[in-house]
């Protein structure tokens, strides 16, 4: 009998769509099912009324199609705690708070990477339009290109430019209220605001308390109609007030469901700029800059050779350089063309090292400590498992050059910050603990076949 509620919801889900379901039905908690009454609990009065006005009839229809008797629905309101305020929220409020203390400068916007600035961005034919448009936005926010949309494949520098605009504007106008966040986070905050009846705060935060809004990866909310509606309301409000909006996407507007028309009508006031894969010359310039930043000694002709091998995107190019330099340091050899070929490989047959995967590393670490791979991917915090897990994450980063989010994903969907912490701790502990260093060295030798000098 309890199942009648679950079944009704399951029947409704395809009709309502995932987002509506998540927003309005999932938060309702089933309290009890009697013969003629289903009792539910809603987290706010608003949620209760919304459900009653919009979805109750549809749910009852589903229920009555599954049972004979008449059933009613009763909802009590039990407020629960909202999701903790996010970084974006913190930015706005801390900026506002510190403005009253005239001597104290507001902190830089949350979430911006220090490395992603204009002066570390290499311009080339592939990204020229995007980089110039980003510059113009930083020079004259809210005036020339508003909104600005950058789109292009992954790893081509869109996020880098978005952060660069945020840094530049903050440096020049410390009081400016700049908010940077991913579209995914915008969606989660929106859902939370609706669920916990804090829609007014949400509105104020995004429609009023902002001077510059930077949203990364808007493709994430394609097809999420309510979130999109809300985002476009935000766009309208900000645009009308002359505030700057800049967004990125990994595909064109026409490839994002529900966005093209609304985006392009707004983009008639703004600009869409694409970012393409960089040409050889740009890739070489990026490599040389990265090598300099990381103090990696790589001769010019070898950089050209490496840039010729890795063409797809900049993130892979950077990963390749880090891998080559890690192995060169391990072996105690200089970075030569032959060595690059050995590590990266011209053809599939000679890329043994580059083929090291996170899975292979997990297997080796699990074997060494006699723990299960499932435990490495699991949540248990027992030291006998937590330690091997951190070692495996550390080696994955070092030997595969995968990104932190990607490693997190392969460890049972952990957050990238967990991986970052693990890598940092392993680096620290190794310095004081020769035994741990020895353990890590021997697993590395087993995986790579390379003995440290
Ligand atoms: P996207 O957001 O397009 O997926 P990112 O902005 O995250 O890509 O870029 C991936 C990596 O490549 C980052 O480390 C970034 O700094 C670097 N990168 C990309 N393009 C350039 C460039 N033109 N100059 C310097 N670094 C770049
Ligand atoms: Mg990005």
CATH number at residue 22: 3.30.300.180
Centroid of ligand 1 to alpha carbon of 44 (angstroms): 43
| Residue 90 belongs to a domain | no
Ligand 1 atom closest to 121 (CA): 24
pLDDT range class, residue 268, cuts 50, 70, 90: low
User: What domain range includes position 253?
Assistant: 118-275
Read off the pLDDT of residues 73-97 as tens digits, 9 standing for 90 and up. Answer: 888 888 765 544 444 433 433 444 4
Distance between Cα 161 and ligand 1 center (Å) = 8
| Domain assignment of residue 369, yes or no | yes
What does the pLDDT look like over 120-141, one tens digit per residue?
999 999 999 999 999 999 999 9
Domain termination residue (choose one: 250, 275, 300)? 275
**What is the reported pLDDT for 266?**
67
* Closest to 28 in 3D by CA, of 12, 13, 17, 39: 39
380 with 259, same domain: the answer is: no
| Nearest to 133, CA basis, from 248, 255, 261, 260 | 248
Residue 98, pLDDT score: 41
Q: Which ligand gives the minimal distance to the CA of 289?
A: 1
Ligand 1 pocket: which of 130, 150, 156 to mutate (most atoms <8 Å of CB)?
156
> Are 267 and 311 members of one domain?
no
pLDDT per position as a tens digit, 37-56: 888 988 777 778 888 888 88
Query: pLDDT (tens digit, 9 = 90+) per residue, 69-79?
Result: 788 888 888 87
Query: Is residue 453 domain-resident?
Result: no
Position 57 confidence tier, pLDDT thresholds 50, 70, 90: confident
Residue-wise pLDDT for 141-157, tens only, equals: 999 899 999 999 999 99
Pair 123, 261 in one domain: yes
Best of 115, 150, 155, 401 for a ligand 1 pocket test (most atoms within 8 Å of beta carbon):
155
Ligand 2 mean position to 127 CA, how many Å?
Answer: 14
Residue 285's pLDDT band (cuts 50, 70, 90): very high
In this structure, the answer to whether residues 271 and 288 fall within a common structural domain is no
Q: Which of 350, 373, 393 is the last residue of a domain?
A: 350
Q: What is the pLDDT of residues 305-347, one digit of tens each?
A: 999 888 888 998 998 999 899 889 888 999 999 999 888 865 4
Close Cβ partners of 52 (under 8 Å, ≥ 6 residues apart): 75
Residue 320 maps to which CATH number?
1.10.8.60
CATH number for the domain harbouring residue 228: 3.40.50.300
Domain count of the fold of the chain: 4
Note whether 127 and 267 are same-domain residues. Answer: yes
155 and 193 belong to one structural domain:
yes
Out of 12-21, 100-109, 184-193, least confident range: 100-109
Residue 267 inside a domain? The answer is: yes
Same domain (yes/no): 296, 328: yes
- Assess whether 287 and 229 both reside in one domain: no
What pLDDT is recorded for position 113? 92
pLDDT tens digits for 391-412?
999 999 888 777 888 888 889 8
410, part of any domain: yes
CB 273 within 8 Å of CB 149: yes
Given this model, what pLDDT does residue 335 score? 95
Average predicted confidence (pLDDT) for the chain:
85
Over residues 379-402, the mean pLDDT reads: 90
266 and 139 in a common domain: yes
Of 360 and 94, the one with more pLDDT: 360
Of the given ranges (88-102, 172-186, 205-219, 402-416), which has the lowest mean pLDDT? 88-102
Per cent of the chain over pLDDT 90 is 50
85 within a domain of the structure (yes/no) = no
- Three-state secondary-structure class, residue 106: coil
User: Residue 394 is part of a domain; what is its CATH number?
Assistant: 1.10.1750.10
Q: Is residue 98 part of a domain?
A: no
Cα-to-centroid distance, 33 and ligand 2 (Å): 47
Q: What is the pLDDT of residues 8-29, one digit of tens each?
A: 888 888 777 777 777 778 888 8
Query: Which atom of ligand 1 is nearest to 275's Cα?
Result: 3
Residues in contact with ligand 1 (CB, 6 Å cut-off): 116, 120-122, 127, 154-160, 286, 314-315, 318
Looking at residue 419, what is its pLDDT? 92
440 and 306, same structural domain?
Answer: no
Contacts of 330 (CB under 8 A, 6+ apart): 444, 448, 450, 452, 453
Does 83 fall in a domain? no
Q: Are residues 320 and 232 in the same domain?
A: no
User: How far is it, in rounded angstroms, from Cα 361 to Cα 358?
Assistant: 5
Final residue of a structural domain among 321, 350, 379: 350
pLDDT band of residue 33 (cuts 50, 70, 90) is confident
Q: What pTM does this model have?
A: 0.67
Query: What are the angstrom distances between the C-alpha of 252 and each of 152, 244, 315, 418?
Result: 8, 21, 20, 32
Q: Are residues 303 and 383 in the same domain?
A: no
């Amino acid at each position: 009998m309890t199942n009648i509620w679950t079944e009704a919801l399951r029947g409704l889900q395809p009709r309502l769509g995932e987002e509506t379901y998540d927003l309005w039905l999932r938060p309702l908690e089933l309290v009890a099912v009697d013969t003629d009454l289903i009792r539910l609990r809603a987290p706010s009065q608003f949620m209760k009324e919304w459900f009653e006005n919009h979805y109750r009839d549809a749910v009852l229809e589903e229920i009555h199609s599954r049972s004979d008797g008449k059933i009613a629905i009763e909802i009590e309101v039990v407020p629960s705690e909202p999701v903790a305020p996010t970084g974006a929220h913190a930015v706005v409020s801390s900026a506002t708070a510190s403005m009253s203390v005239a001597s104290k400068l507001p902190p830089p916007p949350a979430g911006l990477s220090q490395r992603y600035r204009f002066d570390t961005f290499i311009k080339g034919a592939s990204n020229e339009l995007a980089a110039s448009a980003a510059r113009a936005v930083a020079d004259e926010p809210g005036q020339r290109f508003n909104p600005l949309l950058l789109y292009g494949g992954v790893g081509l520098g869109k996020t880098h430019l978005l952060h660069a605009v945020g840094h530049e504007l903050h440096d020049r106008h410390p009081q400016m209220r700049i908010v940077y966040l991913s579209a995914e986070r915008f969606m989660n905050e929106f859902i939370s605001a609706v669920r916990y009846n804090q829609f007014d705060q949400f509105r104020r935060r995004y429609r009023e308390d902002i001077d510059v809004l930077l949203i990364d990866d808007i493709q994430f909310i394609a097809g999420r109609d309510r979130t999109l509606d809300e985002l476009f309301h935000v766009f309208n409000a900000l645009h009308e007030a002359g505030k700057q909006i800049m967004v990125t996407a990994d595909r064109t507007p026409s490839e994002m469901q529900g966005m093209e028309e609304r985006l392009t009508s707004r983009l008639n006031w703004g600009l869409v700029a694409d970012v393409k894969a960089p040409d050889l010359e740009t890739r070489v310039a990026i490599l040389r800059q990265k090598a300099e930043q990381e103090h990696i000694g790589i001769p010019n002709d070898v950089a050209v050779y490496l840039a010729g091998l890795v063409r797809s995107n900049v993130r892979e190019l950077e990963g390749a350089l880090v891998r080559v330099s890690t192995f060169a340091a391990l072996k105690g050899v200089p970075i030569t063309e032959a060595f690059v070929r050995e590590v990266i490989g011209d053809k599939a047959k000679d890329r043994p090292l580059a083929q090291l995967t996170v899975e292979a590393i997990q297997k080796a670490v699990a074997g060494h400590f006699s723990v299960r791979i499932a435990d490495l991917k699991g949540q248990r915090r027992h030291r006998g498992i937590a330690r091997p897990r951190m070692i495996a994450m550390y080696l994955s980063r070092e030997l595969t050059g995968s990104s932190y989010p990607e490693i997190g994903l392969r460890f049972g969907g952990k957050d990238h910050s967990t991986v970052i912490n693990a890598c940092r701790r392993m680096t620290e502990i190794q310095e004081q603990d020769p035994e741990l260093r020895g353990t890590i060295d021997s697993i590395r030798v087993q995986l790579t076949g390379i003995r440290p000098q």
